[in-house]
Amino acid sequence: MNVEVRIPEVGESITEGVLAVWLREDGELVGIGDDLFELETDKVTMAVPAEVAGRLSRLVPEGEVVEIGQAVAAIDTSAAERPGAGEDVGAPTAAPVESAAAGRVEIAPVAPGEGPPIAPPAGLPQARARLAAAGGDLPLSPAVRRLIEEHGLDARAMPGSGKDGRLTKEDVLRHLEQRGAPAPAPDSVSTPAPAAASAAMASTAEVSPAVPATPAASLPAPVSPMVPVRAADPRETRVRMSRLRHRIAERLVQVQHEAAILTTFNEADMSAVIAARNRYKGDFQEKFDTRLGFMSFFVKAAVDALKTVPGLNARLEGEEVVYQHYTDIGVAVGTEHGLLVPVVRDADALSFAEIERRITDFARRARERKIALDELTGGCFTISNGGIYGSLLSTPILNPPQSGILGLHRIEKRPVVVSDQIVIRPMMYLALSYDHRIVDGAQAVTFLKRIVDCIEDPERMLLEV
């Protein structure tokens, strides 16, 4: 029996997406729970698993725009019961192996007359091995395939760091950079990998790296003085903007047009927080099995400041200002696919350890494209840390419909005056962007000053003074 694989519901406001990449080959046997493809929407990218076991028939190519509820594949469930059906005569036969999941069957290849089967790793590594032996193409995303074709590379010769060992664009760029020492041939001009900050804050599929000039010694001699010679390799690459990047662009332009954004700045002496972290990070790690970072201090400080200045915990809906009596704090997470802002719910009721655990979990699942849509919506206030990429100062843009966002920057030792003495202290610039339609300048300055007070004297947050 054929069971259709349809695009699942991922949110009330989402009606379509892009089938970004197939994770299983056409005709491959899949089990229940195996990821079939990645769906990229304007808010989140997610892997869609198989609900039944059987042989996969793909109906839609990679890169196609698909609608919610559209059938993109079919799974022949009878193939799970007859694993050898449809195979070429003389090819190795296969025997079913029961997996831990109920109803799931994985196929282990067995050469004729070779005794009991040995189950290989299920999923993409198995497909890679089979395709490599057959000399076929590996499952590659459009961006990766384009790079490999342009530079004449062998996909099987490069290790993959993506899901299930799949090649990513970063893997190809890294390979090109490593082999860039000798002058490349004109048909395989080497491309450097993008900077680390760009790779984390934007999708690698959206970065168009510059192509270095080819040394004159490596260029072929012209056929004729009258005929100019042009390198076969293109000097630029065009990549269609992803749905996630397109949505980010729309929202940023929208908020710039609709909100009256202003930014106020201050700086904080990080000495007290650094000292507390160094003093207790070992005990903290041992007791709670999670590291003590700086972000939990700033989340707690934001909770305190939101209580002090409720105007920053409000949103504008039409002609009404809605004041929120809860503190859901969004924490920006940079991934290779773009910037995501998962929300730490009810941060005022969480301990430092619970906040750290949630942020760590969000960051991991965001990188793995396993973040849920409802975890990215409904925040009251956002914190974005550009300091991890080396930013000294910036003006963050609001995450609508929120009325405030706090920008953190790198910690840098600077001379400051303390008790009429010039001393060296670890300082951080803080930037608060706010919607002037809701928040007055005095409120914004008061809010940011409260953040500084909490960071420079963390005991305030414990005593609520």
| Together in a domain, 254 and 389 | yes
- Asked if residue 123 belongs to a domain, the reply is yes
What share of the chain has pLDDT > 70, as a percent? 72
Band of the pLDDT at 130, cuts 50, 70, 90?
very low
In a domain, 234, yes or no: no
Catalytic annotation on 440? yes
Q: Looking at the structure, do residues 288 and 411 belong to the same domain, yes or no?
A: yes
CATH code (residue 444):
3.30.559.10
Under the banding of pLDDT at 50, 70 and 90, the label for residue 114 is very low
**42 an active-site residue?**
no
Q: Is residue 213 part of a domain?
A: no
Mean pLDDT of the chain, nearest integer? 77
Residue corresponding to tokens 């709670």: 288
Q: Which of the following is catalytic: 154, 269, 436, 457?
A: 436
In a domain, 239, yes or no: no
Residue where a domain terminates, one of 103, 134, 165: 134
Tell me how far CA of residue 68 lies from CA of 9, 11, 370, 376, in angstroms: 6, 10, 19, 20
Q: The pTM is what?
A: 0.58
Mean pLDDT to the nearest integer, 4-8? 90
User: Are 286 and 425 in the same domain?
Assistant: yes
pLDDT score recorded for residue 108: 44
Q: How many domains does the chain have?
A: 2
- pLDDT value of residue 219: 42
Domain-embedded: residue 384: yes
Residue 16 binned pLDDT confidence (cut-offs 50, 70, 90): confident
| 29-50: average pLDDT | 85
Rounded distance between C-alpha atoms, residue 464 and residue 462, angstroms: 6
In a domain, 49, yes or no: yes
Domain boundary among 117, 134, 151: 134
C-beta of residue 445 within 8 angstroms of C-beta of residue 427: no
Q: Domain containing 107: what range?
A: 2-134
Residue for token pair 């207790």: 280
pLDDT digit string, tens, across residues 325-366: 999 999 998 877 677 889 999 999 999 999 999 999 999 988
Q: What is 76-145 written as a DSSP string? A: ETHHHHSTTTTPPTTSPEEEEEE-SSTT-EEEEEE-TT--S--PPPPSHHHHHHHHHHHT------HHHH
Whether 162 shows a pLDDT value over 90: the answer reads no
Q: Does any domain span residue 154?
A: no
Q: Is residue 210 part of a domain?
A: no
User: Is residue 164 very low, low, confident or very high in pLDDT (cuts 50, 70, 90)?
Assistant: low
Map residue 45 onto helix, strand or coil: strand
- Flag whether pLDDT at 245 surpasses 90: no
**Region 380-393 average pLDDT:** 94
Residues 277 and 402 in one domain: yes
Fill in the DSSP letter of residue 155.
G
Residue of 137, 187, 346, 440 with catalytic role: 440
227: left (phi over 0), alpha (psi -120 to 50) or beta: beta
